[in-house]
Structure 1
Amino acid sequence: MAAGLEFVPAPLDRSAKFYVAGHRGLVGSAIWRKLQNEGFGNLMGRTSAELDLKNRDDVFAFFSENKPRYVVLAAAKVGGILANNTYPVDFLSDNLRIQVNVLDAAREYGVERLLFLGSSCIYPKFADQPIREESLLTGHLEPTNDAYAIAKIAGIMQIQAIRRQYGLPWISAMPTNLYGPGDNFSLEGSHVLPALIRRYDEAAASGATSVTNWGTGSPRRELLHVDDMAAACLHLLEHYDGSSHVNVGTGSDVTIRDLASIVAGAVAYQGEIEWDSSKPDGTPRKLLDVSKLAATGWTASIGLEEGIRGTVNWYRENSTALRR
C-alpha cells in the first residue's frame, strides 16, 4: 500500500481550495451554501459548459491547474422512475465516466479529503428495513433504476479501492431521498416530491377538481431536506474516516399517499386525490438505518412539513426559470 494521509478528525482548513463537483445541482448547491456559511473562502465550481466531467482530458487538466485540497463529488446524471427506466444506458455510462474521471484525477493530483455521494437506490429492492450499510450487494436491485444504482455502487467500490491501495482518507455517503431549493421539477426528470409539488401547485392554480398520481400510494419514502444533507456532508468530512459508506437520512419515513396529502395542504389544493395502480410503485420501502451517522454525532433537524412548505415557496418564486 502506498503511504496515505493520516486523518485525525478536525475542522477543515477554511482557506484551502475546495472543489464542489456539481455545484449547481440540488445537492451541490446546498453544499456550496453550507461551505460559504461556514467560512470557506476558496470554493471552486464549474458548470457543465465550463467543464464536461465526462471528458477525461479536460478533468485532468482542471485538477492539474487548480489542485484542490478538498473535493465533494456531487455531480451526477439523476432522475426519477420514468427517466431512469427510459434511459438506462445514459444513467450508467454518464455516471461511470464522471466518477472515474474525477476520482482518478483527484488521486493523481493529491486531493487530501474527498467525499463521494451516492444514493439509497444502491440497496436491494427487498432489503430488510431499516436498511443497514451492510445490506449492499445482498440482493436484486429495483429494476427501474438498476443502471444508476450499479454506477453508484461502482463509485463506492472505487473509494474503497483507493483507500486500500493508496491509503487515502476518502469517504462515501449515501443519502436517502432528497428535496429542497434547487430541485428538478421537470415533467420527465423529477423525483416524487418535486413532481407532487408541481402537479398540485398547478392543479391548485387551475382549479382542477382532481389529481391522479402514479401507483397505489402505499410505498414508503424517507425524505431529507438538502440543507440537512449539506450539513451532514461537512460533518462527515470533519468527523468520519472509515471504509464503509455512511447512510444519511432522518430515520423515519412516510407513505407516498400521506406525502401527497402534505403537499396538497402546503399548496392549498382542495380537490380529490386519485391513484393509477396500473403505473409502477417502485421500491416498496427505503428507510435507512442511520445509526452509523448518529454515532458520529449528527442528526437531521429540518422537519418534513416545514421543509416542504419552504420548498413550495422556493418553487413558486423560481418556477418561471426552472426546467419545465
Structure 2
Amino acid sequence: MPMEEKKKRIYVAGHRGMVGSAIVRALNVRGYADIVTRTHAELDLTNQAQVADFFASERIDEVYLAAAKVGGIHANATYPAEFIYQNLMIETNVIHQAWKTGINKLLFLGSSCIYPRLATQPMAENALLTGPLEPTNEPYAIAKIAGIKLCESYNRQYGTDYRSVMPTNLYGPGDNYHPENSHVIPALIRRFHEAKHASSKEVVIWGTGTPKREFLYVDDMADASVYVMELEREAYDLHTRPMQSHINVGTGEDITIRELAEAVKETVGFMGALVFDADKPDGAPRKLMDVSNLAGMGWTAKTSLMSGLKRTYEHFQNPDSTNSSE
C-alpha cells in the first residue's frame, strides 16, 4: 500500500460499537493515522441535517459505515420499528451525503440475515432476494438489504466505488451483554458467568439447541473489511458480478447452538447442567455463509472459535483491556 494511501482521512461511523472499534484497531495497525470519529451525542446519524453539515465540514476521503442498531431475537421482536427506521435513516443519510460531498470510496457493513430463511446452505451472494426472510428479524434484514441496494444504485448511476460486506454472526470485545437484547454469544457468556458466581445448578438456553450458526471473531471481520477496501476496484469487481455488489465474510464453518453453549460453558468454567427451553424461538434453522468469493480475493479467517471465546470472556471480565487481537 503506497504511503500516500495511508494519509487518507477516513471516517468510521459507529466507532464505539463492537465492529466499528475493531475497524479502528485494524486501521491503526495498518498505519492509517487520520481517522475521524463522532459519538452519537456529537452526531446523530439519523438526522439528515446533522449528517449533511458533518460531511460538508470534514474533508473525508473514505467511509466505513459500521453504525447500526443491532440486537438478538428478543430485541428484534420487541423493537421492529426502531430497527427498520434507525438503520434505514443511518444508511440513507451517510451514503447520500458521502456521494454529495465527492467521496468515491465507502464500505457498508450488513448482516447474514439478508438471505432468505430457507436459502440453500451455504448461502452464496446470489441468494439475495430469492425467498422470504426470517420473520423474527425481517425489519432489520430489509434495512440491510436497502443498504446494499443503495451502494449498488449509487455505483450504477454515479460511478462511485461503494462496497458492501455481509458478516456472519459476530462476537468479541465491545459486544453488548444486555440480559435480553444481546446476541447469542454475549448472552451465553453473561448467563454462564452469573450462574458460575451464584453456584447455580443449571443454565436455561433459549430454543432447542439444534439450529446451526456460524461465528466470526470481530477482529477478523475488521481485518477483512480493511482488506476488501484496499483491493483495487478491478479485483473487487471480479468477484462481484453485475448487480451484486456485496461479499460474504465468515469462517465457512458452523456449529449447533448446543455445541456453542457447551463451548461457552467450558470457557467460563461453569460446572452445572444445560437446559433447553423449546418453547422459545429458534430462529432460522441454519445460517452458513459461502465465503468462496472472499477466499478467491485472498482472505480467510484466522481466529478459532475457542480462541475467540477465550479472548472475549477475558474482555468481558476486564472491559478496559484493549489487547484483543493477540
TM-score bracket, shorter-length normalisation:
over 0.9
Does the Cα contact within 8 Å between 1:181 and 1:314 map onto a contact in 2? yes
Deviation at 1:264, TM superposition (A): 0.4
Partner of 1:310: 311
- CA-based RMSD: 1.3
Q: Distance in 2 between matches of 1:154 and 1:260?
A: 33
Deviation at 1:156, TM superposition (A): 0.4
The 1:257/1:11 distance shift into structure 2, 3 A limit, reads farther
Does the Cα contact within 8 Å between 1:52 and 1:58 map onto a contact in 2? yes
Question: In the alignment, does 2:17 pair up with 1:17?
Answer: no
SS at match of 1:147: helix
Does the Cα contact within 8 Å between 2:7 and 2:34 map onto a contact in 1? yes
The 1:11/1:197 distance shift into structure 2, 3 A limit, reads farther
Partner of 2:230: 238
Partner of 2:33: 41
Q: How many residues align?
A: 311
Q: Distance in 1 between matches of 2:257 and 2:56?
A: 46
Partner of 1:143: 135
Deviation at 1:318, TM superposition (A): 2.4
Identity among equivalent pairs (%):
53
SS at match of 1:170: strand
Listed as ranges, the matches of 1:102-251 within 5 Å are 102-239=94-231, 240-241=236-237, 242=240, 243-251=244-252
Question: In the alignment, does 2:74 pair up with 1:76?
Answer: no
Deviation at 1:189, TM superposition (A): 1.6
Q: Distance in 2 between matches of 1:314 and 1:186?
A: 15
Deviation at 1:113, TM superposition (A): 1.1
Give 1:23's aligned amino acid: H
SS at match of 1:247: strand
Deviation at 1:119, TM superposition (A): 0.2
Partner of 1:301: 302
Q: Distance in 2 between matches of 1:269 and 1:41?
A: 42
Does the Cα contact within 8 Å between 1:11 and 1:238 map onto a contact in 2? no
Question: In the alignment, does 2:289 pair up with 1:288?
Answer: yes
Partner of 2:59: 67
Partner of 1:276: 277
The gaps in structure 1 that reach 5 residues or longer are 1-8, 320-324
Q: Distance in 2 between matches of 1:226 and 1:23?
A: 13
Does the Cα contact within 8 Å between 2:151 and 2:245 map onto a contact in 1? no
Give CA-to-partner distance per residue, 1:266-304, whole Å, 9 cap, x none: 011010000000000001100000000001000000000
Deviation at 1:244, TM superposition (A): 2.2
Deviation at 1:187, TM superposition (A): 1.3
Q: Distance in 2 between matches of 1:293 and 1:147?
A: 27
The gaps in structure 2 that reach 5 residues or longer are 321-326
Task: Show structure 1 runs of 4+ deviating over 3 A.
Answer: 9-12
SS at match of 1:308: helix
Q: Distance in 1 between matches of 2:34 and 2:160?
A: 22
Q: Distance in 2 between matches of 1:193 and 1:310?
A: 13
TM-score (norm 1): 0.94
Does the Cα contact within 8 Å between 1:21 and 1:45 map onto a contact in 2? yes
SS at match of 1:261: helix
Partner of 1:51: 43
Q: Distance in 1 between matches of 2:3 and 2:95?
A: 23
Q: Distance in 1 between matches of 2:100 and 2:245?
A: 23
Q: Distance in 1 between matches of 2:225 and 2:210?
A: 31
Partner of 2:323: none
Q: Distance in 2 between matches of 1:291 and 1:244?
A: 15
TM-score (norm 2): 0.93
Further displaced range: 233-242 or 281-290:
233-242
Q: Distance in 2 between matches of 1:188 and 1:261?
A: 20
Deviation at 1:110, TM superposition (A): 1.1
Deviation at 1:188, TM superposition (A): 2.1
The 1:264/1:12 distance shift into structure 2, 3 A limit, reads farther
Deviation at 1:67, TM superposition (A): 2.4
Further displaced range: 299-308 or 108-117:
108-117
